[in-house]
Amino acid sequence: MIYNSIIETIGNTPLVRLNKVNKGIKGEILVKVEYFNPGNSMKDRMAIKMIEDAEKAGILKPGGTIIEGTSGNTGMGLALGAIAKGYKCIFTLADKQSKEKMDILKAVGAEVIVCPTNVSPDDPRSYYSVARKLNKDIPNSFYPNQYDNLSNTAAHYETTGPEIWKDTEGKITHYAAGVGTGGSMCGTAKYLKEQNPAIVSVGIDTYGSVFKKYKETGVFDENEVYPYLTEGIGEDILPKNVDFSMIDTFVKVTDKDAAIMTRRLAREEGLFVGWSCGSAVHGALEYAKEHLKEGDRMVIILPDHGTRYLGKVYNDDWMRNHGFLEDKAYATARQVIASRDADYQLITVDKSIKVSEAIHIMNDKGVSQIPVSEGAHVVGSLTDNKLLHKIIENPNLKDAQVAEVMEDPMKFVALDSTLDVLSSMLDKEKAVLVRAEDQSVHILTKQDILAAITKA
């Protein structure tokens, strides 16, 4: 068959049966290998859909510029569309994205602007904000906004869902995918559930993201948000493409478990895939261990190709430096908190009590810094040296409420952060917090790190 341009080859990617990494799990596990798309990722589908819908609406006009905030894969799809249709491209990326992704975008003619990761979404430096500002400043430009543009969901409703249904002959019981913008998860799940409402959809989330807790409680908990390394899944916002009614349950996966599974897929299944593919498979298999039975069939989306991650998960030095290889000598935050007494409980002070009471608690417990709470949430912190300076300047503050003198909350870190990573953070912070798998919160200081290194 002869195609008129590369974008006509998007879609109709294969389903492949897993044979080894799913050993011991009942039921059949199939993966939809999206790196067979011309841009090597499933994002090609929605990128072209967003462009074509914008053209139909008159938003994107000849000679225009496409501007998007992307983790790299959406940018590649948009760039391919731009080449075929004659548009320019400018992409903003967070600095945690792999160098390979940035280089690939430049190779297809896009301008790439790198923005800091660890800033809030509404910070003017964030890759969301920079993309919006460029769209405002550049005439005849189009900002697809993959997070809130429902053409994203529609692309998967129109293509990915029908392909899975057809290729499985309707014999699918479970569907699993990572959730980032939400389009592939929710668009595909919507189509499949319309064919058979009994199909169970499993969303894969990462530690440091808000999705799982929001689904379970309806609460957007900012304490769930902290830096993580995995690219392409999880968010610190609620994109419009994430339709929680289409996701029956969430499973969270650590950076480490995702990275190890990514390498196993390459080594044991011959699937040279990206990091979030490891997240999807690890999380889906954890769910399958408990819920799948003989005769069930689960389909998992594998979003992209391993070439995007040669400098990260496929690099032994990088893996070792992050504690993701078994020969790493240092412990992780997970191991530090696991070594604590079973009755450990985080000491906090409520923001409504008097400062004098908080000082008494700090003295009684022998701590120099303490989180400030409001109900179940951490909303601030106190440190003895800063508190001392404030009271010397204004002695009456000892009768004020803690809320009037507290500092910003301590930062949350990922459960599998290694001691070298934690040490680097603690050069800037007095202490950090980590949330264990049982949802208990622990405080970590330099003293804890030194103690762990001594034991290692």
Which residues belong to the active site?
43
Q: Residue 373 in 3-state DSSP?
A: strand
Q: Which residue has the tokens 């990326």?
A: 93
d(CA 288, CA 311): 31
Sequence-ordered alpha helix ranges (H) in 86-158: 99-107, 127-137, 151-155
Inter-residue contact 31 to 22 (CB < 8 Å): no
| CA distance linking residue 9 with residue 99, whole number of Å | 26
- What is the DSSP secondary-structure string of 318-385? HHHHTT-STT--S-BHHHHHHTS-TT-----EETTSBHHHHHHHHHHHT-SEEEEEETTEEEEEEEHH
Listed in sequence order, the residues at least 6 apart from 280 whose beta carbon sits closer than 8 Å to its beta carbon are 176, 177, 178, 204, 233, 300, 301, 302, 303
**CB distance 93 to 117 below 8 Å:** no
Alpha helices in 108-218 (DSSP H): 127-137, 151-155, 161-167, 183-195, 211-217
Strand 174-178, strand 297-302: pairing:
parallel
H or E element at residue 349: strand 349-350
Structure tokens at 337: 């908190």
Start-to-end C-alpha separation, the chain: 60
Residue the block writes with tokens 């103690």: 451
| Contact in structure between 180 and 235 (CB atoms under 8 Å) | yes
